[in-house]
Chains A and B, each alone.
Chain A
Amino acid sequence: MNNTAASPMSTATSSSGRSTGKSISFATELQSMMYSLGDARRPLHETAVLVEDVVHTQLINLQAAEVSQLRGARVITPEDLLFLMRKDKKKLRRLLKYMFIRDYKSKIVKGIDEDDLLEDKLSGSNNANKRQKIAQDFLNSIDQTGELLAMFEDDEIDEVKQERMERAERQTRIMDSAQYAEFCESRQLSFSKKASKFRDWLDCSSMEIKPNVVAMEILAYLAYETVAQLVDLALLVRQDMVTKAGDPFSHAISATFIQYHNSAESTAACGVEAHSDAIQPCHIREAIRRYSHRIGPLSPFTNAYRRNGMAFLAC
């Protein structure tokens, strides 16, 4: 198994070699997205490229197609994606909440514009709460212990989301109107807005088993979640890197970074701007390394979705 500590870096470099051949790049959109998630005003291009790589690899490696094949189906449906996420309750709940909000929003917006109302009636099928029904039926069928269904009634606060909201609030408090308008525009960017570009980026046309519409929505959401998670973790890493006076563990923390600072590649990446607040690629790599690192006697064998040594951030 090649899941050594160096593998996230090596997969990153090898896949970045591949990515130069790809014509579609989300780097500019990612830069905006990272700004809206808490990065500096102008995130670094290298960071965006690295994040793009990570997200791409993770989505491809989801291997949702395999799950569909197991079922004998021709299309990747949202059920397959829900199935892949069943292990992590918090993330699953966030996904479910997202789906419900989507349903709710279409219901409301439909009532406002009369044309939408007609369109909806004309389409015939009962679209209300479509995604919620899909999710509920599926979880019903796979739920053995009842804990998945309990999530529908569960009203716990999502801590990660809470933190993100607080960060955004802090960020926006000090902005002026023009900056805030820009910030809002960046926040509105998502992979689902550029659906066709997203499809091409994932190279869906060459896949045998393609995702359907709702599944594509979920994939776009997972991609966004991955970016958000990466930014969250990278910000934490960056915070750690700042050595605080009087912090008893500061010498221990810097020890984990020694190998990075020694390697030629990362000094080139990290050493450039000392003053910039933007997230550097080394922060991202460190974040991924720490996230993949499971402590425990059976850790090399536990995680079932581990492939290529990179744990999944979104699920």
Chain B
Amino acid sequence: MDQNNSLPPYAQGLASPQGAMTPGIPIFSPMMPYGTGLTPQPIQNTNSLSILEEQQRQATQGTSGQAPQLFHSQTLTTAPLPGTTPLYPSPMTPMTPITPATPASESSGIVPQLQNIVSTVNLGCKLDLKTIALRARNAEYNPKRFAAVIMRIREPRTTALIFSSGKMVCTGAKSEEQSRLAARKYARVVQKLGFPAKFLDFKIQNMVGSCDVKFPIRLEGLVLTHQQFSSYEPELFPGLIYRMIKPRIVLLIFVSGKVVLTGAKVRAEIYEAFENIYPILKGFRKTT
């Protein structure tokens, strides 16, 4: 499969903290192997080791001017095969993100981990919720409270809301692949119950990531200098709510150094947002 230069560049004009223009970052879709930068080397197979080698080769070639190598998880499969669970690596993989080479910047070395993914899919047919609730395992349906069936599966550990219109919301997955896989599993369950379920318009609606910068942060200083973006009402919520414009992500920053990022549609946004905020947070590090 020749995937040379077929990756559409991400929105142009993304500003890094130093204001340097980064070349386009590839859009992640669940079907694409991650971390393929805009380098001309063809990516033939999805063997994780070869991708790793390739990345390292690219790094040593000093193609830093070309594309920011984005962190990729060592997915073994790109096509979610129903019934198999892709192996997910431990969060700390050997690859660290190499940010665009500007001498002043240094990569934080911390990678946010995805905690929750919300996705929607259209099963394409009207459903009888009562039948589903009666015959499926792990399904709840309380029409007086809410007009949808709540179904749960254990692998990947997710919850789905299935509506009579055929639309479904899937929450709780820890990665895009898992979310898609889970959604397919729910679709299969519905199919087995006799409905002509399809798998249309799968879309990831929201991604939540979190990480820890490992130092305490002086939020009062941050809220004062970044007033237009932040709001900090400790009586209401112990964290500072930071609304980043580019990318459009909301970050919850806590005194302990924990950062939660939400509102992303693609994984790259979370990483980018974190790389943007990290130097700012370092500036407000609470030293003893």
Contact = CB atoms under 8 A, between A and B. Distances in A.
Asked if A and B are interacting partners, one says yes
Interface of A: 36, 98, 101-102, 104-105, 108-109, 111-114, 117-118, 121-122, 124, 165-166, 168-169, 171-173, 175-178, 180-181, 184, 187-190, 192-193, 224
B159 A105 contact: no
Given A108-B241, A166-B224, A177-B288, A224 B146 contact: no
B129 to A, nearest CB: 14
A105 B238 contact: no
A121 B218 contact: no
B189 interface: no
Given A112-B116, A113-B116, A181-B216, A169 B262 contact: no
A105 B224 contact: no
Interface string B8-29: 0000000000000000000000
Interface in B244-278: 250, 252, 255, 260, 262-263
B94 interface: no
B171 A165 contact: no
Contacts of B137: none
Contacts of A114: 116, 118, 159, 171-172
A112 B236 contact: no
A121 B146 contact: yes
A112 B262 contact: yes
A169 B286 CA distance: 12
A168 B118 CA distance: 38
B288 A111 contact: no
Contacts of B216: 177, 180-181
B145 interface: yes
A101 B221 contact: no
Interface of B: 115-116, 118, 145-146, 148, 150, 159, 161, 171-172, 206, 208, 216, 218-221, 223-224, 231, 233-238, 241, 250, 252, 255, 260, 262-263, 286-288
10 smallest CB-CB distances across A and B, nearest first, come from A190-B235, A187-B234, A114-B171, A168-B220, A169-B220, A176-B288, A188-B234, A122-B146, A172-B220, A114-B172
Nearest to A107: B250
Instruction: State the main secondary structure of chain A at its contact with B.
Output: helix
A192 to B, nearest CB: 7
A118 B260 contact: no
A190 to B, nearest CB: 3
Contacts of B287: 177
Contact of A173 (B116, B145, B150, B221): B221
Contact of A189 (B161, B235, B260): B235
Contacts of B233: 98, 101, 105
16 contacts: A36-B234, A101-B231, A104-B241, A112-B116, A113-B116, A114-B116, A118-B150, A121-B161, A122-B146, A172-B221, A175-B286, A177-B287, A180-B255, A181-B255, A184-B234, A224-B235
Contact of B235 (A121, A168, A192): A192
Contacts of B241: 101, 104-105, 108
Contact of B159 (A36, A112, A118, A173): A118
Given A177-B286, A188-B235, 4 more contacts: A108-B241, A108-B262, A112-B116, A224-B235
